[in-house]
Chains A and B, each alone.
Chain A
Amino acid sequence: MKIRAIRLKEVGRFREPVALEGLTGGLDVLAGSNELGKSTILKAVKLVLFEQHKSKKTKTVEVLRPYAGGAPLVELEFEIDGKSWRIRKQFLAQASAELKDLQSGRVWRGGDAECELSKLLSGSAGAEHFALLWVEQGDSLKALEPAAMMNGALYAAIEAEVVAVADGGAARIAHAKVKQELAALVTSHNPPRPAGAYKVILDERRDLRQQCQAARDRLARAQARLDHLADLRARAAQLSDPEVVTARLAAANAMRAAFDEALKAREKCRHSEQAQQSQEERLVALRAALESFECRITDLAKLEDEARQDAPAMNEMTRRVADCQARVVECRRSRDEIKASLDTVEGRLKALDLAERAKQAAERLQVARGLAAEHKALAGEIANNCAEEGLVIAVRRENASLETIKARLSAAAPRVSIVYADGAKSEIRVEGRVLKDGETLNPCKPIALEITGVGVVTVAPGQLESLGEDQSNLAAHEEELRALLKRAGAASIDEAERRLGQRRVLEARLAEASIQLKALAPNGLECLERAHAESFSDVPPIKDMCHVAQADLELRSRELEDELGDAERQLVKMEQEQDQVGKDEAGLSARVHERDRRIEMLSQSLGDQAVRKRELEKLSVAVAEAESGLNAAVRDLAAWREKAPEDARFDGMKADAERAEGALADAERDLIEIRREEAGIEGELKADRAGDVSACLAELEDKLASVETRTQDMADQIQALQLLDREFSVATSETRERFAKPVLDRLAPYMSIVFPEARLGFGDGLAPKELHRGDDSEALGNLSKGTQEQLAVLVRLGFGGLLAETASPAPLILDDALVYSDDRRIERMFAALKRAANSHQVLVLTCRESTFAALGGHRIAIGAWQTP
């Protein structure tokens, strides 16, 4: 197909009718500024060729409606296989379509026009979108994005033609159907996971298997219950058999009787053992008593001999004790005498000391009393002197204020100096007083100077603003000063100062007296008086000791202390000796006493000789009797032991009896338990029947078998679909490869122009994947934008060349498709475009007028559409 003219009205920015006329069908170039409408022209061409005039794809159509509204009208004149055609379509409002054979004049309208146009564009292979190739602004880069996205653009552009040449899209539809059915059964994961109906049936199978297993378990339990019930009934029958019950009872009774007999014999045997033991004990006791009696007689005789031997030693011990006692008494007496003398001397010394202390205390008291009197006097003087510090300070302050005021007044007051002239005869008087020569006056108020024989001179102070105030203050301060002086008891300030000085002196003396008094009587004078009185009461009368010197007393005291020490040591020695003798005597006495006590005790217990003899005979007889009794008990015991069973046998008889009775009880209990269990099982069996577990299992197994079959069938179907999918993919790939080669072959010349010694590699979906230069490969995404767009255009040139050779040539429209290319590359691209234009139409729309001037080709321009 070759486009000869493009005419637009109310399309995009073309509100008014415009036209591109005179396209050669070779290399046609429209160069113009931005917003010329170049992209609109391409969209309009696609719209008129591929959209129905009544299309509902509002986005595709609306985008071409002018902003101000309108109904896009597009007309295209084109040539296919040498025949010229014109298609005109109006979209949106008053949609219409008209196809005209420009040679025969035949016209098709509406749907007929669409059908006929579709047939024309389908070409010999009968596919859509066959008739046009294009690269839109920015599309070239999108088309070269990685494979997943590339399929959407380049693949869509290429595959349709591939498919169109192949088999009309049926394979694609079939493949899509296969994928759709597969997707309804498994996911696209690797490995695929069950989905949709397959998952449902797998779940159903899983559930049924579980239910079957559960049903089998239930049935097994039901069967077990039946088996168990049969066992229980058999056991119950056995337990309740009358003959068996009777035999069991008889056996138990016999066992019990035998056991009771054995028990009785063992009891008798036990009693005999006890009797024998008792006899033995009695014999032992009697023999011990006889032996004891004989021993006591022997002991008594021995003790009496000892007593006779110890008598002289006792007497000697008594004498020694008396002697020691006398010596101790003597030593004590001597010690006491010396101690008394010493006490006397020490008493005298103490009395002397007390007297001295009392004297000192009296002296302190005297001084304290003096100080107290002085304190009192001073306090009285101070009380009479009112010239306190603060008061005098106030006086000073008042005086200072007065002086200040006076000075101010004086300063304000005129200074009148009296100077008589030599030989003056008159006198100057003021208020009757004659002023002396050289006297100075500072009147604060007007004064009249009387000059005798002359007149009166009145002198008035200056007019001070505060004169009146100062004068009143002066009076106030003078009044205050007088009051303060009066309080201080002074007539003048000097006197007040003097009285203050005196007061200070008094106060100093008072403080000193207080300190001294405090030192002597810290607790007060009264307390000191009391202490003094007490100390005097301790002093003994002086008159008995006045003739004894203290030194002599002290010497005598030391001598007596020495004597006392000796006497004490002697006494201690004697006492120790006395203690030792005492201990010896006590020990001897204790032994004698103890022996006498034992002799007494034994004599009393044994009695006299006759009594002892009788007792001995009695004991001997008792021993003989006890021996006889023991022999009898031994014989008795032996007899019972023969009758009673030994422990093991007795235990066995007991166990047998218990077992037999236990068996009776167990049988009863078992029977009750069996009945109870039987009732329980019957209830469970009833529930089993209510659920018909056996039939349920059969039903579930049937269902499971069916589901297994369906599952297997579905799995087989999935395998088949997966195989189909793979085969379709392989076939598609092979088909693409088949057409990739021709594309590559057609692409090669262009590649040699722009990218010499480079080779383009395709990936899935016949999408350019990488550029090979020598041994290096670079992914398309990593190439520069300029290289990517150049490759995009070249690929379309390759396909255009293929279509031109194999089907029907399709025009290629480039809408500003080379915006990133440098000068050198663009030059080469121009060479490629020129070459391509030899086999099919290349329509270049560009905004780079000067750059594309070198492209050559036929320049077209947008003009007015004369007759829309």
Chain B
Amino acid sequence: MRFAFIHTADWQIGKRFGAFEAEKAAVLREQRLGAVDRLADAARASGAATVLVAGDVFDSETVTDALIARLLSRLKGHNNLVWHLLSGNHDPARAGGVWEAIVAGGLPENVCLHLSSQPAELAKGVVLLPAPLTSKSTSCDPTIWMDSVSSPDGIVRIGLAHGSVQGFGSDGGANVPIDPARAQSAGLAYLALGDWHGVKRISDHVWYSGTPEPDSFPDNEPGYALAVHIDDAKATPKVERIATAHFTWTRRRKTISCADSLEAIEKEVSQLGAEASRHLMGLSLAGSVSLAEFARIDDRLAKLGSQLFHLAPDLSGVQTFAAGSDIDALGSGMLATVATRLKGMAESPTEDREVAARALRKLFAIARSAEAGGPR
């Protein structure tokens, strides 16, 4: 029984991105809905007519009705696909929750909700065993029931769950344990998991699809959906990752010694070309640089940030020092005197060294500004 479907999860519709300025946040929010279209494209490209969403469709239980309506409208728009939605820890299926509102409002025909642990037929010979979450956290494995439900021989059993696979060390948001051996114990051809935002293979039959549209600077690989092809109940499913992200979120860490240390990053961004405008970069810098270099680094970061959609620089690991040339540049006199004193304080093992270092940077910035003849 051949069956193809798209495995996705963690859409986090309604996430606010409050740490971003309003305009960028609005764009990021919109792209979460945009991911639905890209998933539909991925399904069509893979020849799949079914999309399994393994939980956390919504970022919270209190998403607005308007946003729900927009999502359902989009799902309905791709009426050649059947969307199977599972409740996760962000959007548990409980009384008064978001799913109840959706049910009350009416579902499009091509949208199926799995809010209770009941087998559901996906296609002839294919049954879905959903393990919806009914609370934000639970100490019980919601997939346990799958072991006790039997199916006739030859039926392809596909599990759909949201939680943390034990022993995996995953750092998902849900505090819901899932036995990674469930696929075997319950005779599942495939266990589609959600909660971990990056693509991750747990085993041949157990995968995390990750979120189709990244929502933070990851330590994993978000921005994909999985096209899963199952030939029969016992075969190893073929899993293909399909890129679905609009924005690319990358995290870079760089040790620097001067402004030129940024060259590689700048080159990387430069090579993105137009794509840079769909790039978000978290750039953590570390190292020790002179004050003059620090000012240059600051300038180059500003230039770099203007090319990207968003640059989140972290300079907390950068230590500055006043080189001899820095002090020389100040000339003799009081400025140099002050700079020398601050240098001494910044290099001393006292509580004030950070303050002194910052004061020193400020002094040079002011001196540079005066030299340039303008305010800084």
Q: Are B18 and A699 in contact (CB under 8 A)?
A: yes
Of A232, A719, A735, most buried by chain B (CB within 10 Å of CB) is A719
Bound Cα distance A668, B356 (Å): 74
Q: Are A686 and B101 in contact (CB under 8 A)?
A: yes
Of A133-141, A648-656, A700-708, A826-834, the segment with at least 4 beta carbons within 8 Å of chain B is: A700-708
Chain B window 13-27, contacts with chain A (Cβ cutoff 8 Å), 1 for yes, 0 for no: 011111110000100
Q: Which of B345-376 contact A (CB under 8 A)?
A: 345, 352, 354-356, 358-359, 361-363, 366-367, 369-370
Contacts of B331 in A (CB 8 A): 167-168, 170
For the complex, is B125 an interface residue (Cβ under 8 Å from A)? no
Whether A720 contacts B15 in the complex (CB less than 8 A), given A170-B333, A229-B96, comes out as: no
Q: Which of B193-223 contact A (CB under 8 A)?
A: none
Q: Are B15 and A721 in contact (CB under 8 A)?
A: no
Whether A226 contacts B60 in the complex (CB less than 8 A), given A167-B331, A173-B370, comes out as: no
For the complex, is A206 an interface residue (Cβ under 8 Å from B)? no
Contacts of B332 in A (CB 8 A): 167
Whether A732 contacts B334 in the complex (CB less than 8 A), given A226-B97, A690-B65, A717-B358, comes out as: yes
Contact of A717 among B338, B362, B366, B370 (CB under 8 A): B362
Q: Are A170 and B335 in contact (CB under 8 A)?
A: yes
Q: Are A695 and B335 in contact (CB under 8 A)?
A: no
Bound Cα distance A580, B14 (Å): 126
Q: Are A698 and B18 in contact (CB under 8 A)?
A: yes
For the complex, is A693 an interface residue (Cβ under 8 Å from B)? yes
For the complex, is B45 an interface residue (Cβ under 8 Å from A)? no
Per DSSP, chain B at the interface is helix
For the complex, is B278 an interface residue (Cβ under 8 Å from A)? no
For the complex, is B49 an interface residue (Cβ under 8 Å from A)? no
Q: Are A701 and B18 in contact (CB under 8 A)?
A: yes
Of A448-456, A478-486, A723-731, the segment with at least 4 beta carbons within 8 Å of chain B is: A723-731
Q: Which of B72-124 contact A (CB under 8 A)?
A: 94-98, 101
For the complex, is A785 an interface residue (Cβ under 8 Å from B)? no
For the complex, is A178 an interface residue (Cβ under 8 Å from B)? yes
Bound Cα distance A513, B276 (Å): 155
Q: Are A689 and B370 in contact (CB under 8 A)?
A: no
Contact of B63 among A689, A699, A723, A734 (CB under 8 A): A689
Bound Cα distance A681, B62 (Å): 13
Q: Are B14 and A695 in contact (CB under 8 A)?
A: yes
For the complex, is A685 an interface residue (Cβ under 8 Å from B)? yes
For the complex, is A691 an interface residue (Cβ under 8 Å from B)? yes
Closest-by-CB residue of A relative to B59 is A695
Chain A's nearest CB lies how many Å from the CB of B98?
7
Q: Are A171 and B18 in contact (CB under 8 A)?
A: no
Chain A's nearest CB lies how many Å from the CB of B343?
11
Closest-by-CB residue of A relative to B101 is A689
Chain A's nearest CB lies how many Å from the CB of B365?
10
Contact of B342 among A166, A225, A690, A723 (CB under 8 A): A723
Interface size on B, residues (CB 8 A): 46
Per DSSP, chain A at the interface is helix
Chain A window 209-242, contacts with chain B (Cβ cutoff 8 Å), 1 for yes, 0 for no: 0000000000100100110011011000000000
* A/B pair count, beta carbons within 8 Å: 146
Q: Are B333 and A692 in contact (CB under 8 A)?
A: no
Which size bracket describes the interface of A in this complex? 35 or more
Bound Cα distance A597, B342 (Å): 140
Chain A's nearest CB lies how many Å from the CB of B197?
16
For the complex, is B254 an interface residue (Cβ under 8 Å from A)? no
For the complex, is B238 an interface residue (Cβ under 8 Å from A)? no
Whether A689 contacts B362 in the complex (CB less than 8 A), given A229-B96, A695-B14, comes out as: no
Whether A177 contacts B370 in the complex (CB less than 8 A), given A690-B65, A695-B60, A719-B358, comes out as: yes
Q: Are B64 and A690 in contact (CB under 8 A)?
A: yes
Chain A's nearest CB lies how many Å from the CB of B322?
13
Contact of A703 among B18, B63, B359 (CB under 8 A): B18
Contact of B354 among A174, A694, A695, A716 (CB under 8 A): A716
Whether A230 contacts B94 in the complex (CB less than 8 A), given A688-B62, A689-B62, A702-B19, comes out as: yes
Bound Cα distance A688, B98 (Å): 11
For the complex, is A805 an interface residue (Cβ under 8 Å from B)? no
For the complex, is A600 an interface residue (Cβ under 8 Å from B)? no
For the complex, is B70 an interface residue (Cβ under 8 Å from A)? no
Contacts of B356 in A (CB 8 A): 720, 723
Chain B window 28-48, contacts with chain A (Cβ cutoff 8 Å), 1 for yes, 0 for no: 000000000000000000000
Q: Are B338 and A695 in contact (CB under 8 A)?
A: no
For the complex, is B337 an interface residue (Cβ under 8 Å from A)? yes
Q: Are A727 and B362 in contact (CB under 8 A)?
A: no
Bound Cα distance A229, B63 (Å): 18
Contacts of A261 in B (CB 8 A): none
For the complex, is B253 an interface residue (Cβ under 8 Å from A)? no
Contact of A233 among B95, B335, B358, B363 (CB under 8 A): B95
Q: Are B96 and A225 in contact (CB under 8 A)?
A: yes
Chain A's nearest CB lies how many Å from the CB of B51?
24
For the complex, is B252 an interface residue (Cβ under 8 Å from A)? no
Chain B's nearest CB lies how many Å from the CB of A822?
42
Closest-by-CB residue of B relative to A705 is B19
Q: Are B62 and A691 in contact (CB under 8 A)?
A: yes
Contacts of B60 in A (CB 8 A): 692, 694-695, 698
Bound Cα distance A222, B334 (Å): 62
Q: Are A720 and B358 in contact (CB under 8 A)?
A: yes
Q: Are B19 and A706 in contact (CB under 8 A)?
A: yes
Contacts of A728 in B (CB 8 A): 334, 338
Bound Cα distance A706, B342 (Å): 29
Contacts of B64 in A (CB 8 A): 689-692
Chain B's nearest CB lies how many Å from the CB of A492?
143
Chain A's nearest CB lies how many Å from the CB of B355?
5
Closest-by-CB residue of A relative to B68 is A689
Q: Are A177 and B352 in contact (CB under 8 A)?
A: no
Bound Cα distance A696, B67 (Å): 14
For the complex, is A203 an interface residue (Cβ under 8 Å from B)? no
Whether A174 contacts B366 in the complex (CB less than 8 A), given A222-B62, A723-B355, A723-B356, comes out as: yes
Q: Are A724 and B363 in contact (CB under 8 A)?
A: yes
Whether A700 contacts B366 in the complex (CB less than 8 A), given A226-B61, A689-B98, comes out as: no
Q: Are A695 and B359 in contact (CB under 8 A)?
A: no
Q: Are B14 and A230 in contact (CB under 8 A)?
A: no
Contacts of A177 in B (CB 8 A): 366, 369-370
Bound Cα distance A230, B94 (Å): 7
For the complex, is B341 an interface residue (Cβ under 8 Å from A)? yes
Contact of B338 among A171, A691, A706 (CB under 8 A): A171
Chain B's nearest CB lies how many Å from the CB of A613?
98
Contacts of A226 in B (CB 8 A): 61, 94-97
Bound Cα distance A394, B64 (Å): 132
Contacts of B95 in A (CB 8 A): 226, 229-230, 232-233
Bound Cα distance A170, B65 (Å): 62
Whether A719 contacts B16 in the complex (CB less than 8 A), given A225-B96, A693-B62, comes out as: no
Whether A721 contacts B334 in the complex (CB less than 8 A), given A174-B370, A694-B62, comes out as: no
For the complex, is A615 an interface residue (Cβ under 8 Å from B)? no
Q: Are B19 and A703 in contact (CB under 8 A)?
A: yes
Contact of A166 among B25, B101, B334 (CB under 8 A): B334
Chain B's nearest CB lies how many Å from the CB of A5?
37
Contacts of A688 in B (CB 8 A): 62
Contacts of B17 in A (CB 8 A): 699, 702
For the complex, is A469 an interface residue (Cβ under 8 Å from B)? no
Q: Which of A729-744 contact B (CB under 8 A)?
A: 730-732, 734-735
**Which residues of chain A have a CB within 8 Å of any CB of chain B?**
166-168, 170-171, 173-174, 177-178, 219, 222, 225-226, 229-230, 232-233, 681-682, 685-686, 688-696, 698-703, 705-706, 716-717, 719-721, 723-724, 727-728, 730-732, 734-735
User: 8 A-B contacts, Cβ less than 8 Å apart?
Assistant: A174-B370, A230-B94, A685-B101, A692-B60, A694-B60, A699-B16, A702-B16, A706-B19
New contact pairs (14) apart from A691-B62, A721-B359, CB-CB < 8 Å: A225-B96, A233-B95, A692-B67, A695-B15, A695-B63, A698-B18, A698-B59, A702-B18, A702-B19, A702-B20, A717-B358, A719-B359, A724-B342, A735-B337
| Minimum-distance CB pairs A-B, first 8 | A167-B333, A702-B18, A699-B18, A694-B60, A171-B334, A699-B16, A702-B19, A720-B359
